[in-house]
């Protein structure tokens, strides 16, 4: 007979979980494994709310396992390390992002790209090596293999740094891989939400010229004056889009709703790259002729490997890059999910786990 979540492991834990496709979250008692030889245990202090969490609690992608404790932007302070752990000690500021395991033997893992391992294990809602289901960061404690733990620089605030573990690496990795981080490059960023606003900050730190592309003209002042973008295009304005055709070396498209790609492809110079990092729930239409006529590329990118994630966090610390956040209490999470569905947040909710997660 299978054990209850509370009895699976020796260490008691408290979180908030969704029980069904309503997505409603409520207090949930479960358990974490004992700290293994290569494990790091930490007290969770903050956890960002990612758009993926909203999709997962409602099973929008058809892969959710209930009860589901979301959260893959979790940060805190180390309370225990296994005897073989070399990189961390008690008291260190650390975080865990989107994954907590992989096979460690395939080509991707050998090249520090655990994120592309066919056996990559998600931080929540996925079977772990021992057969139990992983639970995420809307919880008071986390245990993870040290390979999947990221050290936070002392100067990087935990609350505003937490979203970088997903949003940050999601935009940093394709900028680096596709050569869009070279100073002087002209980069377009589509969508000014949780991912987009962080993309602008990283791009400017790289010395890149940034054009924000949005359906909403009301975001122009925010993009240029607050985030430091160089220019702004309203994607619904044919004249603006026409005038900007052939001006961008690359585009990071962060939009997770269905939207036309043809106008974006038109903005690219020859050999330009349109990189999709959002995850629309329906296929997009991809016109081929405009790709042929400029040797243009449409690509995708999914987070980054652990080595690169650490590199990204260190870069963020050096350049004082953080997410713009609204800190909330644990019991506000359902309201926050409703607001996130309406894009009513600038730009990332972060749950104050340490101060507000209490027993039911």
Q: What is the mean pLDDT of residues 83-112?
A: 97
Share of the chain above pLDDT 90, in %: 93
Taking 70 as the threshold, does the pLDDT of residue 81 lie above it? yes
Share of the chain above pLDDT 70, in %: 99
Taking 70 as the threshold, does the pLDDT of residue 38 lie above it? yes
Domain boundaries, the chain: 11-165+324-351, 167-300
What's the rounded Cα separation, in Å, for the pair 191 and 327?
A: 22
Helices vs strands, H then E, count in the chain: 12, 17
Does residue 250 sit in helix, strand or coil? Answer: strand
| Residue 128 confidence (pLDDT) | 95
Residues 239/298/215/185 CA torsion (nearest 10 deg): -70
What does each C-alpha distance from 355 to 142, 265, 358, 360 come to in angstroms? Answer: 16, 46, 8, 14
Domains 11-165+324-351 and 167-300 equal at CATH topology level: no
Phi, psi of 313 (to 5 degrees): -65, -40
Q: What is the mean pLDDT of residues 110-122?
A: 98
pLDDT-derived band at 135, boundaries 50, 70, 90:
very high
CATH architecture entry for 11-165+324-351: Alpha-Beta Complex (3.90)
Structure-model confidence comparison of residues 282 and 81, the more confident one:
81
Does residue 202 sit in helix, strand or coil? Answer: helix
Q: What is the mean pLDDT of residues 65-93?
A: 97
CATH number 3.40.50.720 given to 167-300? yes
What's the rounded Cα separation, in Å, for the pair 172 and 180?
A: 10
Q: What is the mean pLDDT of residues 236-243?
A: 95
Phi, psi of 12 (to 5 degrees): -65, 145
What's the rounded Cα separation, in Å, for the pair 20 and 216?
A: 34
Taking 80 as the threshold, does the pLDDT of residue 222 lie above it? yes
| Residue 358 confidence (pLDDT) | 82
Taking 80 as the threshold, does the pLDDT of residue 206 lie above it? yes
Q: Which residue has the tokens 């960061």?
A: 137
């Amino acid at each position: 007979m299978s054990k209850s979540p509370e009895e699976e492991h020796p260490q008691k834990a408290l979180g908030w979980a969704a029980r069904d496709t309503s997505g409603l979250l409520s207090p949930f008692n479960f358990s974490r494994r004992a700290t293994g030889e290569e494990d790091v245990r930490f007290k969770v202090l903050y956890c960002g709310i990612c758009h993926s969490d909203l999709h997962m609690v409602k099973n929008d992608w058809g892969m959710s396992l209930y009860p589901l404790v979301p959260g893959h932007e979790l940060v805190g302070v180390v309370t225990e390390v296994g005897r073989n752990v070399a990189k961390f000690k008690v008291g260190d500021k650390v975080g865990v992002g989107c994954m907590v395991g992989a096979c460690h033997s395939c080509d991707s893992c050998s090249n520090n790209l655990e994120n592309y391992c066919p056996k990559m294990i998600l931080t929540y809602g996925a079977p772990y090596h021992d057969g139990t289901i992983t639970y995420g960061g809307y919880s008071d404690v986390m245990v993870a293999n040290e390979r999947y733990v990221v050290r936070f620089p002392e100067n990087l605030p935990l609350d505003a740094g937490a979203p970088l573990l997903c949003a940050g690496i999601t935009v940093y990795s394709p900028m680096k891989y596709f050569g869009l981080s070279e100073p002087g490059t002209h980069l377009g960023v589509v969508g000014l939400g949780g991912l987009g606003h962080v993309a602008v900050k990283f791009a400017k730190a790289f010395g890149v010229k940034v054009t924000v592309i949005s359906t909403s003209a009301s975001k122009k002042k925010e993009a240029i004056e607050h985030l430091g973008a160089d220019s702004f295009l309203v994607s619904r304005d044919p004249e603006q889009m026409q005038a900007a055709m052939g001006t961008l070396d690359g585009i990071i498209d962060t939009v997770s709703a269905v939207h036309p790609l043809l106008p974006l492809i038109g903005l690219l110079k020859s050999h330009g790259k349109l990189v999709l990092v959002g995850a629309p729930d329906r296929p997009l239409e991809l016109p081929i002729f405009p790709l042929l006529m400029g040797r243009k590329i449409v690509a995708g990118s999914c987070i980054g490997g652990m080595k690169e994630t650490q590199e990204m966090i260190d870069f963020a610390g050096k350049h004082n890059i953080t997410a713009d956040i609204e800190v909330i209490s644990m019991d506000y999470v359902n309201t926050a999910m409703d607001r996130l569905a309406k894009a009513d947040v600038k730009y990332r909710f972060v749950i104050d786990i340490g101060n507000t997660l209490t027993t039911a």
